[in-house]
Amino acid sequence: MENNSLLYQVIAKAQRWLDGNYNEETKAEIRHMMESEDKTELIESFYRDLEFGTGGLRGIMGAGTNRMNIYTVGAATQGLSNYLNAQFPDAPQISVVIGYDCRNNSRLFAEMSANIFSANGIKVYLFEDLRPTPEVSFAIRHYGCQSGIILTASHNPKEYNGYKAYWDDGAQMIAPHDENVISEVAKIKNVDDIKFEGNPALIQIIGEETDKIYIEKVKSISLSPESIQRNSNIKIVYTPIHGTGIKLIPWALKEYGFTNVIDVPEQNVISGNFPTVISPNPEEPAALEMAVKKAIETNADIVMASDPDADRLGIAVKNDKGEWILVNGNQTCLIFVYYLVRRWKELGKLTGNEYVVKTIVTTEIIKEIADRNKVECYDCFTGFKWIAAVMRENEGIKQYIGGGEESYGFLPETFVRDKDAVSSCTLMSEIVAWAKDNGKTMFELLQDIYIEYGFGKEKGISVVRKGKSGAEEIVQMMSDFRTNPPKEIAGSKVKVIKDYKLMRQTNVLTGDVSQLEMPATSDVLQYFTQDGTKISVRPSGTEPKIKFYIEVRGEMKSRADYYAADAAANIKVEAVRASLGV
C-alpha cells in the first residue's frame, strides 16, 4: 500500500512536469519513464526534490525533481540570484564568477546559469572553457565578486553532476548565507519563476588573462627555487584523469621550472565519460594504475593525479624495495605541513604568529609538528569551507602557512579559499626536488618525518546500513556510543571524549568537563586513549553509513624500523576494530 501511495505521488509530480512549461526533450524522457513497465527510474527521478544543501547540489543527471537538469540547476541559480539581490541592495553592480569542469552537461548548465544571473541584473564572469575549481575561487576574489559557482561533481561517477556555490571570500558558504540561500531556493516552486532569458551585455567571457594571473600567484609560493634549479629534470608523471587539471597543472609545473613532466596520453583526453577509469577518484588505486605503469616504464620520481575539477591531489612514490605505493591523504597532508613549517623556519619566516589548519579527523602528527615549532594548529570540521572560515577569521591578524584534510585536499596559499590541486601539485614537485637536494627519496622523507615526530597509521571504516531500518540502526549506534562510551579501546584507557553535538569535552581520568569551541555543532564523537589512539565516529550526511576514523601511534628510531612499526600499527588497528565491534 505504501509503495502504491508513493507511485501515485510520483506520477502526479511527473504529470505536473508534462503539463508545465518544460521543453520537449524533458517531456519525452518523462513519458518514456511513465510508459515503462518498471517504474523504478520514474520513482527515483521524482520521489523527492533534489536538495540544495550547504554544499550546493549534487545528483544523477536526467529529467525529474530528484535529478540534475536545467530546471533543478535553474531553480538553484534563481534562488541564489534572489538572495544576492536582497543581500547587496546598494551594490553598484553585483557580480559572480561561473566555472565548469569536464562533466557531461557542465557547459550547458554553466551557460544557462549565466543567462539566469544576467536576467536578474547580475554581472557574470564566465570562463570560456573548463577550469579547475580553485581558479574559480581565485577569480571570485580577484574580480571582487559577491559570489560564484562551479558546475562539478568532483570525483563522483560519470552519471553525476553538481553545483557548488561560493561567497565573496572565494570559500563555500557557511552560516548564515548557506541556510539563507537554501531557503531562497526552496521558494522556487514553479518553472515560470526562473528567468531563463539572459542579458548578454552582463556576461563577460574570461580565460587566459585570468589563468596567467593565477599561475603567477601559484609561482609566488615557491620556497626552494634553488632546489628546483638543481633538480629541474626530475621525472614527474602527472594525470588529470580526463579532467580540468590538464588546463593548468602542466603549465604551472613548467612555469615553476620543471622540464620533465611525463603525461599519460589516454587520460589527457577531456571527457565526462572518464573512459579509462571506473571512478575518477585519485583516492582509489585503480584511478592511478595507468600513471603508475608509466612511472615504472620511465623510472619516475613521483606520480601525481588530480580529480576532474582539480581540487584533490593523489600521489604515489617508490619505496625502498622499488615498489610503487600510494600515499594516503593523511600522509600527503603531513608531508606538506612538515615541508612548509620546516622551510618557513629555515628561511627565518616564523615569527610566532603563524598557524596551520587541519580537520578533526586528520592525523594528530600535524599538531605535533606545529606545537614543536611554536605554530598554532587549528582543528575544524570535515569540509574545506571550515578551513576557509578559519582563514577568514584570521585574515590580517595571523599568518596562514597551510591547511588540509585526510580526504586528499590541501591549500598551501591564501589567494584561493578551497582545496587546490594546482598549487599542491607544484609544491609537491618542489618537495621532491628539495628532498633530492637533501639526498632523500620521497619515501625516505616520509620515514624521516615519522622518526622525528612519531609514527602514525590511519584507517577509515564505513559500516553500511541501508533502508529505513538501517538509518534507525545508525541513529541507535550513535546514541549508544554517546550514552555508553567505551572505557578502554584495544587495551588502552580512554582519557578524553569530545562530543561535537553537545559541544562537550570530558577528561575521563579527572572528570573535568569543558566546552568545545566550534562555529557549529556536528554529530561527531571522538575518543582519545592513553597510548595515543584517536577514534572519530560520525554518520555520513549523504550515504547510509556510519564512518569510523582510526588513528594509532607508534615509534620509529630509524628507517629500518618502518616495516615493524607498520606491522605493529596494523595489529593495533585490528584490535581497535574488535573493541568497537566494527
Q: How far, in Å, CA of 358 to CA of 69, rounded?
A: 35
Provide the sign of the torsion angle of the four alpha carbons 455, 459, 460, 465, taken in this order.
Answer: negative
Our measurement of the distance from residue 486's CA atom to the centroid of its chain's CA atoms, rounded to an integer in Å, reads 31
Q: Could you give the 3-state DSSP secondary structure of residue 463?
A: strand
Q: Could you give the 3-state DSSP secondary structure of residue 546?
A: strand
**Region of residue 495 (left: phi > 0; alpha: psi -120 to 50; beta: else):** alpha
**Among 302, 330, 316, residue whose Cα is nearest residue 460:** 330
Beta carbons within 10 angstroms of residue 21's beta carbon = 11
CA distances to 1, 43, 48, 340, 370 from 442, rounded to whole Å, are 61, 51, 48, 15, 21
Q: Is 462 a catalytic residue?
A: no
118, 154, 224, 579: the active-site residue: 154
Largest CA distance in the chain: 73
Q: 3-state SS of 2-17?
A: HHHHHHHHHHHHHHHH
Q: How far, in Å, CA of 121 to CA of 144, rounded?
A: 17
Q: How far, in Å, CA of 30 to CA of 49, rounded?
A: 15
Q: How far, in Å, CA of 353 to CA of 383, rounded?
A: 25
Q: List the catalytic residues.
A: 154
